[in-house]
Amino acid sequence: MTPVIDLLRFSAVSMDLLASARLSPQALAARQRDRLNQLLASTLRESRFYREHLRGSTPGAVSLSGLPPVTRQALMDRFDDWVTDPALTLAALRAFTSDPHRIGEPYLGKYLVWESSGTSHQPGIFVQDSRAMAVYDALDAQRRSAPRPMQRWLDPMMLAERIAFVGATSGHFASYVTMQRLHELYPWLVPSVRCFSILQPTRALVAELNEFKPSVLATYPTAAMMLVDQAQCAALNFVPSEVWTGGETLSATARRSIEAAFGCTVRNSYGASEFMPIAWECRQGQLHVNADWVILEPVDEQGQPVPAGQCSCSTLLTNLANFVQPLIRYELGDQITLHPERCECGCTLPVIEVKGRQDDSLVMTGRRGAAVTLLPLALTTVLEDQAAVFDFHLLRRDAHTLELRLPQQGPPGEAAADRCRSALQQFAASQELAPLTLLIKLGQIMPRGRSGKVQRIVAQAVAGL
């Protein structure tokens, strides 16, 4: 199997990044314009969808803000016309991502493929070529801040570390695909870099982690907090030196709890299926956008730009690295705040705060009477992968009762309810829950935030819901 990698481009991008972190705003904007014009020229030439969507646009003669935004729904509806390689078809890619044995396998021998969750009630499939992956690799290698710089200098390949990724491992998800690719690129890392599924019972997960004894823990904030609870109960026999978080909003309270429980530094990052390394955290704890390769536009309800210091309703993303599946003013949905001031770390790249996925962990009663924590990403993975339901609202009514709300009605709604009931009951049994009462309501209006995204897992019912 040939890994998707372009070492020459990786080297070139890495050299460019050495200078880019301290560019003036004017120089950064010039870099963005040049790369945007290259992207537009290629996209208008190769993508039938964008030729229609951006009709009348000429690279170099139009500003980014003058181009119409686009939604995931619109792109997925025209997938075969959107991508720039006619060998890529949605039907074939869906067949590929439905096979768990092919996770991390290069598609057509040259593309890395991952699927996204349906937090915007529309799942997506994203394709990266070696050109895009070289940019992502270089950004991760050059800009992910190391909390232990001397150790990183002595061990730049992290060969002395034992890295545990705790997350969803049942599908072609970006983080898991990336870990599998890492094993293909560097086989000697296989014994020291392992993935652990959040779908297994907590005691089984803890047992596996105790056996592995990771020095670095990479996971979601809610999963990290669940492990904090285990550490406080003296169930863990390892103490990581670093905890890397991403994929969900990391609150200040959660950060302090993780750092206190493990006595280590937490490093947060912000990424998406649409662009993996959107922002990295510096030594000051600030998220810096990789703005030389991705453009974020915070916008209000009408799609108009919001000023620095104000939280956006949504965010438009432009990926300057991916030419095979162009994303130009793509509605990402996340709410961000762009800081007007420069960071004290000296880096001139923009600083943001992010309100991303904010689902709750659900604490239920186990068979033995002890509390069992159901992680939100595990629940959404079960409902999406096993029940094929992406638009839902799951509430904890009490320690024995969950309420699931679905928008469908009639026979389609009943069929979806049956799939969800089966998937959730099986998951509850695997997590060793006490008998679970599941209430399902059909024809419900999904409560959505200003960005259109719904908090799909809620620990306690809100008045009026």
| Residue range 250-273: mean pLDDT, rounded | 92
| Residue range 286-305: mean pLDDT, rounded | 94
- Say what the pLDDT of residue 448 is: 54
* Placement of tokens 């950064």 in the chain: 28
pLDDT category of residue 454 using cuts at 50, 70 and 90: low
Helix (H, G, I), strand (E, B) or coil at 242: strand
In degrees, rounded to 5, the angle at the alpha carbon of residue 268 between the alpha carbons of residues 265 and 270 is 170
Question: Of residues 418 and 453, which shows the higher confidence score?
Answer: 418
Nearby residues of 216 by Cβ (< 8 Å), 6 or more positions away: 158, 161, 162, 163, 164, 240, 241, 242, 243, 244
pLDDT category of residue 110 using cuts at 50, 70 and 90: very high
**Secondary structure of 347-413 in the HEC alphabet?**
CCCCEEEEECCCCCCEEEEECCCCEEEECHHHHHHHHHHHCCCCCCEEEEEECCEEEEECCCCHHHH
For 94-205, list the strands marked E by DSSP. Answer: 112-115, 125-128, 163-167, 193-197
Number of H helices, E strands in the chain: 14, 20
* Token pair in block for residue 70: 């686009």
Amino acid at 156: P
Q: May I ask the CATH architecture of the domain 7-353? A: 3-Layer(aba) Sandwich (3.40)
Predicted confidence (pLDDT) per residue in 143-172, tens digit: 875 555 445 444 445 567 899 999 989 889
Secondary-structure breakdown of the chain: helix, strand, coil percentages, each rounded to the nearest 5: 35, 20, 40
pTM of the model: 0.86
Distance CA 219, CA 208 (A): 15
Other beta carbons within 10 Å of 370? 12
- Say what the pLDDT of residue 336 is: 94
Distance CA 257, CA 224 (A): 9
Predicted confidence (pLDDT) per residue in 343-366, tens digit: 998 889 999 999 867 788 999 999
pLDDT at 211 exceeding the cut of 90: yes
Predicted confidence (pLDDT) per residue in 5-33, tens digit: 888 999 999 999 887 878 888 999 999 99
pLDDT category of residue 185 using cuts at 50, 70 and 90: confident
Distance CA 364, CA 230 (A): 16
Percent pLDDT > 70 in the chain is 92
Distance CA 123, CA 259 (A): 34
Helix boundaries (H) for 233-288: 252-262
Question: Of residues 208 and 62, which shows the higher confidence score?
Answer: 208
- Say what the pLDDT of residue 146 is: 52
pLDDT category of residue 462 using cuts at 50, 70 and 90: very low
pLDDT category of residue 121 using cuts at 50, 70 and 90: low
* Token pair in block for residue 193: 């870099």
- Say what the pLDDT of residue 155 is: 47
Predicted confidence (pLDDT) per residue in 325-345, tens digit: 999 999 998 899 999 998 998
Predicted confidence (pLDDT) per residue in 220-236, tens digit: 999 999 999 999 989 99
362-458 CATH: 3.30.300.30
- Say what the pLDDT of residue 150 is: 45
Nearby residues of 229 by Cβ (< 8 Å), 6 or more positions away: 373
The phi, psi pair for 435, rounded to 5°, reads -45, 125
Question: Of residues 306 and 161, which shows the higher confidence score?
Answer: 306
Distance CA 189, CA 183 (A): 6
pLDDT at 181 exceeding the cut of 70: yes
Say if strands 163-167 and 216-219 run parallel, antiparallel, or are unpaired: parallel
Summary mean pLDDT of the chain: 89
- Say what the pLDDT of residue 355 is: 82
Distance CA 57, CA 40 (A): 9
Q: Where are the domains of the chain?
A: 7-353, 362-458
Other beta carbons within 10 Å of 86? 10
Q: Residue 272 has what DSSP assignment?
A: E
